[in-house]
């Protein structure tokens, strides 16, 4: 009896401890509770073009663009451009230097050989960064310093996207004709059993073309882009470590978005043990929150729940992060959609596509193959919340 | 061992030149002891200083251990004093900041010639064993004198020059000290040239000479 | 064998630890003060080298408004959006605490700054994410350096109170590079604090040629991109202050050296018997010398280490004062933490070794050159003393000659200090001869029959060699004290007098208010008689460079009350008023500050050229005015002339003279004025009254010279300790002698007289010599050095009071020493008496 109690106590205290440990990572801001901020509620319709513009009552918001491109030689390139908004206080001051809004942007360029990224910070209210307010006559403008995504129309497209990452100057024109995709339950995207949710919509059908100039050399590129728009006041539950997200453009014109929010706690010990042993954590627990959207060639959206998606990581490898520290990431995945009879294998274009920013994560170009190993598309994958090896 | 020929030494005084040693000649054998007698002011101490190389004569030769003193420079003279000549003067010349033990060993330390058995003998016979840790100023005159003797003999010099070593002691102590002193000198195998104005003290020596009018004569 | 010799020599210190202490004290004191100044001078230089950085981020250029007005936020944002990311907006300002202290504030966009820093610096600077977000969010934080926090007794979270009732944001106590005594905060906090919405300037980091061109093309006409030359300017500007400090430290080293000299002589003196014994026992002179040299080496190492540790402590103690001085005078900031350089350590060891050897060489030579037994005869000693005294006096002559030559050709501060050094040393070497003369005089005065009198004099003679170096050290210290004291007093009086003339308006109102212009226009409207305003004076100015030095050109109302009484040091014509009239009536005449004359080489009547919007224009110098405390060059032209020649001038504030209060029981003019200000939208923070500004200025002055005063006191303390220690040691040594006297039947009174009188004669002679020497020193400092270093001239104000005070102090020390030694005597007498017969 005593032994059992002791073990339980140990077990329980280690949970407590591990939760504390986990809770200290940089993604904590997403787990902080939403006291005072506006709550994400089910049943609230998303209205456009209003909802393209900022929602300052909510704590966190982003405009997230990824693009899969090919150059004139047929090589794969990728772009990522994200503008994050964060409110530091529930009734935020919007204007002036004492604004409570902070803007952060990440931009990345995946060339056929190497991945480059950059990070920007700015305070809101001073025009250094931001997204304009909808007036009906001034279109859409999202910028930070000299990075800019701008459209004359408040429906966001057609638009131009200009930014630079190191020596690379990126300039693209984006177009779409298609409808917006509301993820989850008409845009109410639940993230955990406890009820955390965000408002989440996407535009997967963007075509773009433009140039990347590097040291005088200009590369012409064209391809598909994907825009994610999301805002909430508490994106993650306390016990959610991070997530894995996929946005795929399939060659037949259909699109797939899948994400998984990984939990820790009960099986943290198990996960730790397995990763220490160098074993991949193959099966994620049933507690992981999995969700997705399938957009077929006609543009019809099918919401996918956890029974519709079998997500499994095939292989984990080590990559370099800041200061030569290493991290083990599950880089090859298999996505099985039984209800749609699709079986896809996801592999990154190359491993080293890590953004060593203040909030570090892996995001990069992936190639999709079917179970016959034929190429069926490409896309982007995002892996967040993984701990460093040491 | 020591050979002096025709030594002249005079001093400049307010009243004129005073000639202290006037054509003095003297020889001394190894392991012998000589008492140097004379009246006060007759130049006994001067002679000792000259032999020790502490002063220079106007003319004459002093040959010690085969070397002419006049040919030696300051370093060589110092060397000579270190290794071969010991001084036992009235003022004891103990190093006031070192203990008795260190003082005894001092000269030996300078010329790196120790003899532990002899050291023990010296300390015992001079009655210094209980005083080893004390400082010179904590000792009586007699005790200080005995320490000086021990120091002078430990390294077994060729020649010991003593200038009234018992001058500050009472008669009883003087005799005691002299007896031990001369005995130890013999044990060390050194020669002793001692200035004294006491006939009793002179009896301890093998030979006596008298310094008078600047010259020596045997008695 | 060497060991034995060393043991014999060094055991002396074991038995007489006070001697060792004495020696160590001298070394530590001398090396300590010297190394303190070396360390802080070096530290300051390093800080200047970093002057072109802000929180570790490079500021190679500045964007400034040509009219010294603010820079609009929109202009900054525009540059940001054009892709310039190595730029940061800055607000710099000053606030006043209730007790009249000025605090400097510097503010920038901390969010943007954080982004530009290298990773390591970020972690270091902003420890903990939570921490730094507090800085950019209400209620913000004031980043206060530790030394400032200590001064104002602030702890984390405290809000510093200001004179006008406002408070600073909660304090975050943590110092950063280049922060000095400034408080950092976020720009948004500064906007609120200074009630403005514009920046003072924008700092810019490295620019490639293309970037430079692009930036220049993007800037509106009113803004200019200028190179940051702060580092160069600072090094040059502060050179004189640092030379000043170095000179003072060398003086301290000299005093310390005298103590060492004394101590070394003592220790050799005490060991003369041991030395003789060693020679008797056959240790050659060469061996003795090498043993003593080895001992010197050991002492030099010990002395260096203890001196440098002492120096670090003193340096850290002096640093706040120095940084205040530097900031007040030159706007330079230096870091609060000092690090020790290995070069300083080596240098300290070098000079210690040299000093020790010098202190040793002479006495050792004396001791060892004689034949062994003669070396200690009193006759010889007396002869030696005489001859050494004569030799010193002789050696002082070439020093005086060199000093004279140097005086004629003195151009630089270094030459000036060299001159001082020569003079002081010459005096010190002459002192023994003067002391001897004094004794001879006393000898002559004493009636032949009085035995006590003759004994006293002869005792004086025998004590002279022992007292000599203590007296020399005392002379040096007293001279320095009087000289520097007079300098500071003269300066203070000149400064205050000057303030009274220059700042004789009743209220000064800050520039950036158009409200004041409005108010003045209404009060001074034609036909209206103001109830409270008697006169006003608005000044404008521009900043430029002349002979590549930062220069101000001011436009003043030539008929304002203070312009009519410009304090001129030199003028063209018979009277100052003549020159001022010329300046008033003719726009081609210009007034220049003294610094331009002494440092810039300008002469009266000379014509200079200034760069104006219309090209170079000639002006003739018609007068030089006193401009204390200004490290920059400054010209004065008429208001109209400056407005005409330079489009982008800035306002230098407005001075107001109030009418005398009416005798009826109404509000005073001052109250009426303040009411009008507030009514016209002028905030309390924007005006300052004459007494407030007077207090501020005097405070700044006092703090600036605090460091000089500190050094002065320290040197005097060191000398006093030296005197005390050497006197005590002498008394100690003579105890047996005193016992002998008692045995002979001398009573206490007579004993006291005999000991006291020669000593008093020596001290009085030293004091008497120190007075004229001190006067000469201060004259040199004021008339020559100050001018060469800073370009300020002032009349020398010699007062006897400090000399009397100093004399009194020394007297007290002597009396205390005598009393202490008499006490000692009383205590040890029985033993001394008992030992009487035992001496050889």
Using one digit for the tens of pLDDT, what is the confidence trace for C63-88?
888 766 788 889 999 999 998 888 88
List of chain C residues whose C-beta atoms are within 8 Å of the C-beta of residue A127: 74, 77, 81
Q: Which tens digit of pLDDT belongs to each residue from C555-569?
A: 988 888 888 888 888
Specify if C608 maps to a domain: yes
What's the distance, Cα to Cα, between the start and end of chain C in Å?
29
Segment among B2-6, B150-154, C323-327 with least mean pLDDT:
C323-327
C371 → closest Cβ in B55, B89, B111: B55
In the three-class reduction of DSSP (H, G, I as helix; E, B as strand; rest coil), residue B29 is classed as coil
Do the chains contact at C81 and A143, CB–CB below 8 Å? yes
For A46, phi then psi, to 5°, come to -90, 130
CA atoms within 13 A on the CB side of A190: 14
Q: Do β-strands C142-144 and C171-173 pair in parallel, antiparallel, or remain unpaired? A: parallel
Range of the domain at B182: 2-218
Domain limits for position C140: 59-227
Residue of C nearest to A89 (CA): C137
Q: Are A and B touching by the rule of 3+ CB pairs within 8 Å?
A: no
Angle (CA) C290 C293 C298, round 5°: 130
B107 interfaces chain C, CB cutoff of 8 Å = yes
Average pLDDT over residues C382-406: 80
Which DSSP string corresponds to A101-130?
EEEEEEEEEE-SS-EEEEEEEEESSSSSEE
Same domain? C271 vs C174: no
Q: CA of A88: which chain C residue's CA is closest? A: C137
Pairwise CA distance, residues A236 & A198, whole Å: 9
Q: Is B156 helix (H, G, I), strand (E, B) or coil?
A: coil
**A236 part of a folded domain:** yes
Q: Are A129 and A141 in contact (CB under 8 A)?
A: no
pLDDT for position A151: 93
Residues counted in chain B:
219
Chains with 3+ CB–CB pairs under 8 A to B are: C
Classify the C-alpha dihedral B91-B96-B102-B108 as positive or negative: negative
Does position C419 have pLDDT exceeding 70, yes or no?
yes
Report which of residues C705 and A170 the model is more confident about.
A170
Residues of B within 8 A of C283 (CB-CB) are: 78, 82, 110
How close A166 comes to chain C (CA, Å)? Answer: 12
pLDDT 10s digits, C114-158: 777 766 666 666 665 456 677 777 788 888 887 788 888 888 888
User: Which pLDDT score, from 0 to 100, does residue B102 have?
Assistant: 85
- Taking Cα atoms as reference points, which of C599, C596, C631, C542 lies closest to residue C230? C631
- Residue A21 in this model has a pLDDT that exceeds 60: no
Residue B140 has pLDDT above 70, yes or no: yes
Over its C-alpha atoms, chain B yields an Rg (Å, rounded) of: 17
Q: How far apart are CA C824 and CA C731, in angstroms?
A: 9
- C137 to chain A, any CB pair closer than 8 A? The answer is yes
Chain B: give the shortest CA distance to residue C259, in Å: 24
Closest-CA distance, C60 to chain A, in angstroms, reads 21
Q: Say if CB B103 and CB C303 are below 8 A apart.
A: no
Q: Is residue A200 part of a domain?
A: yes
Residue C522 sits in the same domain as residue C494 = no
Domain total of chain B: 1
Which three-class secondary structure state does DSSP give residue A361? strand
Report the pLDDT value the prediction gives residue C53, as an integer from 0 to 100.
65
Calculate mean pLDDT across residues C288-314.
Answer: 87
- Let me know: does C718 contact C255? Beta carbons within 8 Å: yes
- Matching residue, tokens 């543009």: A299
- φ, ψ dihedrals at C122, nearest 5°: -60, -50
Q: Do A146 and C82 touch (CB under 8 A)?
A: yes
Q: Give the per-residue pLDDT at C440.
A: 86
Q: How far apart are CA C176 and CA C797, in angstroms?
A: 43
Looking at the fold, whether C536 and C666 belong to one and the same domain comes out as yes
Residue B94 DSSP label: -
Asked whether the beta carbons of C541 and C630 are under 8 A apart, the reply is: no
Quick one: pLDDT band at residue B71, thresholds 50, 70, 90?
A: confident
Question: Nearest CA to CA, how far is C302 from chain B (Å)?
Answer: 22
C837 pLDDT more than 70: no
Instruction: Compute φ and ψ for B38, nearest 5 degrees.
Output: 165, 165
CATH number at residue B155: 3.40.50.300
Q: Starting from the edge strand earliest in sequence, which strands make up the sheet with C142-144, in order?
A: C171-173, C142-144, C183-186, C102-108, C87-96, C201-204, C61-65, C223-227
| A6: in domain | no
Residue C447: predicted pLDDT: 75
Which tens digits make up the pLDDT trace of C198-231?
A: 888 888 888 888 888 888 888 888 888 877 766 6
Residue A187 CB partners (closer than 8 Å, separation 6+): A44, A45, A46, A199, A200, A201
Is residue C837 less than 8 Å (CB to CB) from chain B? no
Q: Return the pLDDT at C233.
A: 65
C residues 227-256 near A, CB within 8 Å? none
Contacts of C840 in chain B (CB under 8 A): 90-91
The 3 state secondary structure assigned to C10-32 is HHHHHHCHHHHHHHHHHHHHHHH
How many other CB atoms sit within 10 Å of the CB of residue B143?
19
What CATH number corresponds to the domain at position A267? 2.40.370.10
Whole-Å CA distances, A141 to A155, A159, A161, C401: 11, 9, 10, 82
What's the pLDDT band for C637 if we cut at 50, 70, 90? very high
The answer to whether residue A19 is domain-embedded is no
Do C197 and C81 sit in the same domain of this protein?
Answer: yes
- Cβ distance of B93 and C285 shorter than 8 Å: no
Q: Which of B64, B110, B134, B170 to mutate to test the interface with C (most CBs of C within 10 A)?
A: B110
Residue B14 has pLDDT above 80, yes or no: no
C540: in domain: yes
Contact A174, A160 (CB under 8 A): yes
Task: Quote the pLDDT of residue A286.
Answer: 45
Contact A103, A142 (CB under 8 A): no
**What pLDDT, on the 0 to 100 scale, is given for residue C130?**
59
Dihedral sign of CA atoms C205, C206, C210, C212 in order: positive
Mutation for testing the B interface, residue in C2, C3, C4, C19 having most B CBs under 10 Å: C4
**Are residues C482 and C365 part of one domain?**
no
What pLDDT, in 10s, does the model give residues A202-222?
999 999 999 999 988 999 999
Q: How many CB atoms lie within 10 A of CB C395?
A: 13
How far apart CA C687 and CA C605 sit, in angstroms, is: 38
d(CA C293, CA C291): 5
Q: Which domain holds residue A121?
A: 25-383
pLDDT tens, position by position, C611-635: 888 889 999 999 999 888 777 889 9
Task: Say yes or no: C272 contacts chain B, CB-CB below 8 A.
Answer: no
Domains of chain C: total: 4
DSSP state of C837: G
From chain C, the residues in CB contact with A120 under 8 A are: 115
> How big is the A-C interface in CB pairs under 8 Å?
48
Residue C87 CB contacts under 8 Å (≥ 6 apart), including other chains? C63, C76, C79, C80, C202, C203, C204, C205
Please report the pLDDT score of residue A266 as a whole number: 45
Note whether C563 and C545 are same-domain residues: yes
Residue A358 lies in a domain: yes
Residue A211 lies in a domain: yes
pLDDT band for position A15 (cuts 50, 70, 90):
very low
The structure tokens listed for C761 are 């004669």
> Which range has the worst mean pLDDT, A294-308, A309-323, C41-55?
C41-55
Is B160 near chain C, with CB under 8 Å? no
Instruction: Using an 8 Å CB-CB cutoff, list chain A residues near C83.
Output: 145-146, 164
Q: Beta-carbon neighbour count of residue C754 at 10 Å?
A: 21
Alpha-carbon span C118 to C128, nearest angstrom: 16
Higher pLDDT, A263 or A156: A156
Spatial CA neighbour of C57 closest among C106, C93, C4:
C106
C136 touches chain A (CB under 8 A): yes
Co-location of C131 and C217 in the same domain: yes
DSSP, residue by residue, C450-509: -HHHHHHHHHHHHHHHHHHHHHHHHHHHHHHHHHHHHHHHHHHHHHHHHHHHHT-SSEEE
In this predicted structure, what is the pLDDT of residue C433? 87
Q: Nearest-CA residue of chain C relative to A130?
A: C81
Candidate from B55, B87, B90 with C-beta closest to C280: B87
Contacts of C282 in chain B (CB under 8 A): 78-83, 85, 107, 110-111
Q: Are residues C509 and C496 in the same domain?
A: no
Q: Is residue C318 part of a domain?
A: yes
- What pLDDT score does C600 carry? 86
C818-827, long-range: CB within 8 Å, 24+ apart, which pairs? C818/C727, C818/C731, C818/C752, C818/C755, C818/C756, C818/C759, C820/C728, C820/C731, C821/C727, C821/C728, C821/C731, C821/C732, C821/C755, C822/C748, C822/C752, C824/C731, C824/C732, C824/C735, C825/C731, C825/C735, C825/C738
Which pLDDT score, from 0 to 100, does residue C335 have?
A: 67
CB atoms closer than 10 angstroms to residue A108: 25
Q: Which of C376, C411, C436 is the last residue of a domain?
A: C376
**Domains held by chain A: number:** 1
Residue A24 has a pLDDT of 46
Whether C36 and C120 share a structural domain: no
What does pTM read for this prediction? Answer: 0.62
Query: Helix, strand or coil for residue C192?
Result: helix
> Which member of C3, C11, C280 has the closest CB to residue B98?
C11
| ipTM of the modeled complex | 0.79
Q: For residue B25, give the 3-state DSSP assignment.
A: strand
Q: Which of A348-352, C326-330, C650-654, C814-818 has the highest mean pLDDT?
A: A348-352
Cβ–Cβ contact B44 with C under 8 A:
no
Residue A308 pLDDT exceeds 80:
yes
Looking at residue C119, its pLDDT comes to 65
d(CA C292, CA C251): 27
- Of C7 and C133, the structure prediction assigns the larger pLDDT to C7
| Inter-chain touch B85–C282, beta carbons under 8 Å | yes
Q: Find chain B residues with C-beta within 8 A of C277's C-beta.
A: 93-95
Beta strand pairing call for C533-546 and C650-658: antiparallel
Average pLDDT value over all residues in chain A: 83
pLDDT band for position A149 (50/70/90)?
Answer: very high
What is d(CA C367, CA C390) in angstroms, rounded to the nearest whole number? 18
Chain C 279-298, CB below 8 Å of chain B: which residues? 279-287
Who among B74, B96, B107 is closest to C281 (CB)? B107
Residue C269 with chain B: CB contacts under 8 Å:
none
Whether residue A3 is contained in a domain is answered as no
Is the CB of C7 inside 8 Å of chain B's CB atoms?
yes
Average pLDDT, chain C: 79
Beta-carbon separation of C133 and A123 below 8 A: no
| Residues in a beta bridge with B28 | B2
C abuts A (3+ Cβ pairs < 8 Å): yes
A349 CA to chain C: closest CA distance, Å? 29
Tokens in use for B183? 């005995």
- Joined tokens for residue C638: 């008429």
Give the model's pLDDT for residue C838: 45
CB pair distance less than 8 Å for A122 and C191: no
Question: What is the pLDDT confidence band of residue A78, given thresholds at 50, 70 and 90?
Answer: very high
Alpha-carbon distances of A231 from A29, A46, A60, rounded to whole Å:
14, 12, 6
């Amino acid at each position: 009896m005593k032994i059992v109690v002791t073990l339980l106590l140990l077990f329980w205290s280690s949970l407590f401890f591990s939760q504390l440990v986990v809770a200290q990572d940089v993604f904590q801001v997403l787990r902080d509770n939403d006291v005072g901020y506006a709550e994400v509620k089910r049943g609230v319709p998303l209205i456009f073009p209003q909802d393209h513009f900022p929602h300052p009552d909510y704590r966190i918001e982003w405009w997230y663009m990824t693009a899969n491109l090919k150059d004139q030689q047929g090589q794969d390139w990728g772009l990522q451009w994200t503008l994050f908004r964060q409110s530091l206080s529930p009734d935020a001051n919007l204007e002036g230097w004492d604004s409570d809004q902070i803007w952060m942007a990440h931009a990345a360029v995946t060339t056929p050989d190497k991945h480059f990224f950059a990070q920007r910070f700015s305070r809101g209210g001073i025009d250094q960064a931001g997204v304009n307010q909808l007036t009906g006559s001034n279109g859409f403008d999202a910028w930070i310093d000299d990075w800019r995504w701008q459209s004359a129309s408040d429906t966001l497209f057609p638009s131009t996207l200009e930014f630079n990452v190191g020596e690379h100057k990126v300039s693209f024109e984006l177009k779409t004709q298609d409808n917006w995709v509301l993820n989850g339950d008409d845009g109410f995207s639940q993230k955990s059993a406890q009820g955390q949710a965000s408002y989440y919509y996407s535009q997967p059908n963007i075509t773009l073309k433009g140039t990347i100039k590097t040291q005088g050399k200009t590369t012409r590129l064209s391809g598909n882009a994907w825009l994610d728009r999301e805002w909430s006041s508490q994106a993650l539950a306390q016990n959610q470590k991070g997530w894995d997200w996929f946005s795929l453009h399939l060659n037949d014109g259909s699109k797939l978005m899948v994400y998984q929010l990984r939990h820790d706690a009960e099986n943290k010990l198990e996960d730790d043990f397995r990763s220490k042993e160098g074993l991949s954590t193959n099966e994620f627990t049933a507690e992981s929150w999995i969700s997705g959207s399938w957009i077929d060639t006609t543009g019809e959206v099918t919401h996918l729940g956890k029974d519709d998606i079998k997500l499994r990581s095939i292989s984990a490898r080590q990559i370099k992060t800041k200061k030569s520290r290493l991290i083990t990431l599950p880089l090859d995945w298999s996505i099985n959609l039984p209800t749609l009879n699709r079986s896809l294998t996801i592999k990154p274009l190359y491993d080293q596509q890590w953004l060593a920013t203040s909030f570090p994560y892996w995001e990069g170009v992936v190639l999709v193959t079917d179970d016959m190993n034929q190429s069926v598309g490409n896309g982007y994958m995002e892996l967040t919340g993984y701990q460093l090896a040491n | 061992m020591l050979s002096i020929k025709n030594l002249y030494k005079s001093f400049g005084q307010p009243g004129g030149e005073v000639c202290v040693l006037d054509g003095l000649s003297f020889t001394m054998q190894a392991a012998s002891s000589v008492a140097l007698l004379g009246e006060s002011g007759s130049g006994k101490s001067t002679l000792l200083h000259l032999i020790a190389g502490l002063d220079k004569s106007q003319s004459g030769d002093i040959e010690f251990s085969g070397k002419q003193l006049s040919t030696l420079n300051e370093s060589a003279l110092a060397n000579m004093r270190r290794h071969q000549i010991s001084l036992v003067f009235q003022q004891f010349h103990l190093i006031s900041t070192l203990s008795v033990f260190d003082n005894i060993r001092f000269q030996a330390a300078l010329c790196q010639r120790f003899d532990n058995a002899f050291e023990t003998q010296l300390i015992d016979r001079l009655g210094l064993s209980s005083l080893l840790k004390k400082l010179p100023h904590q000792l009586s005159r007699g005790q200080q004198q005995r320490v000086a003797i021990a120091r002078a003999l430990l390294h077994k010099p060729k020649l010991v020059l003593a200038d009234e070593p018992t001058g500050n002691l009472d008669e009883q102590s003087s005799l005691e000290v002299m007896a031990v002193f001369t005995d130890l000198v013999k044990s060390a195998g050194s020669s002793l040239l001692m200035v004294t104005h006491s006939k009793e003290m002179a009896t301890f020596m093998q030979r006596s000479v008298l310094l008078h009018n600047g010259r020596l004569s045997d008695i | 064998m060497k060991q034995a010799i060393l043991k014999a020599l060094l055991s002396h210190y074991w038995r007489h630890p006070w001697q060792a202490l004495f020696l160590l004290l001298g070394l530590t004191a001398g090396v300590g003060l010297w190394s303190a100044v070396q360390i802080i001078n070096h530290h300051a230089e390093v800080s200047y080298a970093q002057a072109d950085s802000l929180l570790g981020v490079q500021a190679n250029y500045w964007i400034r408004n040509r009219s010294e007005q603010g820079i609009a936020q929109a202009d900054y944002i525009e540059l940001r959006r054009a892709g310039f990311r190595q730029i940061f907006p800055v607000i710099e300002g000053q606030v006043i605490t209730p007790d009249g202290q000025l605090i400097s504030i510097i503010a920038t966009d901390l969010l943007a700054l954080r982004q530009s820093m290298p990773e390591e610096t970020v972690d270091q600077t902003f420890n903990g994410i939570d921490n730094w977000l507090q800085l950019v969010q209400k209620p913000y934080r004031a980043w206060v350096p530790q030394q400032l926090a200590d001064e104002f007794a602030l702890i984390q979270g405290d809000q510093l109170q200001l004179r006008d009732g406002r408070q600073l944001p909660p304090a975050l106590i943590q110092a950063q590079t280049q922060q000095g005594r400034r408080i950092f905060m976020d720009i948004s906090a500064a906007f609120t604090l200074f009630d403005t919405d514009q920046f003072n300037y924008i700092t810019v980091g490295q620019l490639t040629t293309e970037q430079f061109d692009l930036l220049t093309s993007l800037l509106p006409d009113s803004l200019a991109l200028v190179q940051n030359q702060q580092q160069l300017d600072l090094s040059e500007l502060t050179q004189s202050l640092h030379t000043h400090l170095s000179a003072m430290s060398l003086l301290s080293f000299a005093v310390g050296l005298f103590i060492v000299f004394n101590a070394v002589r003592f220790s050799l003196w005490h060991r003369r018997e041991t030395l003789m014994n060693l020679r008797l026992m056959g240790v050659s002179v060469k061996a003795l010398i090498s043993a003593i040299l080895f001992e010197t080496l050991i002492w030099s190492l010990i002395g260096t280490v203890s001196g440098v540790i002492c120096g670090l402590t003193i340096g850290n103690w002096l640093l706040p004062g120095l940084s205040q001085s530097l900031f007040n005078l030159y706007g330079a900031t230096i870091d609060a933490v000092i690090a020790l350089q290995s070069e300083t350590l080596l240098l300290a060891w070098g000079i210690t070794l040299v000093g020790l050897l010098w202190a040793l060489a002479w006495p050792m030579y004396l001791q060892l050159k004689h034949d062994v037994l003669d070396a200690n005869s009193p006759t010889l000693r007396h002869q030696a003393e005489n001859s050494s005294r004569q030799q010193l006096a002789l050696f002082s002559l070439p020093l005086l000659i060199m000093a004279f030559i140097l005086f004629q050709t003195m151009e630089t501060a270094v030459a000036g200090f060299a001159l001082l050094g020569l003079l002081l040393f010459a005096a010190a070497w002459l002192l023994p001869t003067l002391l001897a003369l004094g004794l001879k005089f006393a000898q002559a005065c004493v009636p032949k029959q009085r035995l006590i009198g003759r004994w006293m004099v002869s005792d004086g003679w025998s004590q002279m060699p022992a007292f000599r170096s203590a007296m020399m050290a005392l002379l040096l210290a007293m001279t320095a004290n009087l000289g520097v004291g007079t300098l500071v007093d003269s300066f203070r009086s000149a400064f205050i007098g000057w303030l009274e003339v220059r700042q004789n308006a009743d209220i000064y109102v800050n520039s950036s208010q158009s409200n004041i212009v409005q108010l003045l226009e209404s009060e001074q409207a034609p036909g209206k008689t103001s109830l409270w305003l008697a006169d006003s004076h608005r000044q404008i100015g521009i900043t430029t460079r002349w002979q590549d030095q930062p220069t101000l050109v001011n436009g003043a109302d030539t008929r304002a009350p203070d312009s009519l009484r410009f304090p001129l040091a030199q003028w063209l014509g018979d009277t100052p008023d003549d020159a001022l009239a010329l300046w008033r009536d003719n726009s081609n005449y210009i007034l220049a500050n003294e610094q331009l004359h002494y440092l810039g080489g300008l002469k009266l009547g000379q014509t200079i050229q200034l760069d104006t919007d219309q090209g170079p224009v000639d002006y003739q110098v018609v007068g030089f005015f006193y401009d204390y405390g200004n490290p920059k060059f400054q010209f004065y032209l008429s208001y109209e002339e400056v407005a005409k020649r330079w489009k982008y001038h800035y306002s230098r504030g407005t001075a107001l003279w109030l009418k005398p209060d009416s005798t009826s029981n109404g509000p005073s003019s001052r109250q009426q004025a303040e009411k009008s200000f507030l009514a016209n939208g002028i905030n309390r923070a924007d005006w300052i009254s004459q007494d407030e500004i007077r207090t501020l200025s005097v405070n700044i002055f006092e703090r600036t010279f605090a460091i000089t005063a500190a050094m002065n006191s320290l040197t005097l303390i060191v000398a006093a300790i030296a005197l005390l220690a050497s006197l005590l040691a002498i008394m100690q040594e003579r105890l047996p002698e005193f016992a002998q006297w008692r045995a002979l039947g001398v009573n206490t009174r007579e004993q006291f007289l005999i000991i006291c009188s020669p000593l008093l004669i020596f001290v009085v002679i030293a004091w008497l010599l120190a007075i004229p020497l001190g006067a000469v020193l201060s004259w040199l400092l004021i008339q020559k050095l100050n001018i060469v270093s800073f370009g300020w001239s002032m009349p020398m104000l010699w007062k006897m009071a400090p000399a009397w005070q100093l004399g009194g102090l020394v007297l007290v020390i002597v009396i205390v020493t005598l009393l202490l030694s008499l006490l000692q005597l009383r205590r040890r007498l029985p033993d001394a008496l008992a030992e009487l017969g035992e001496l050889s």
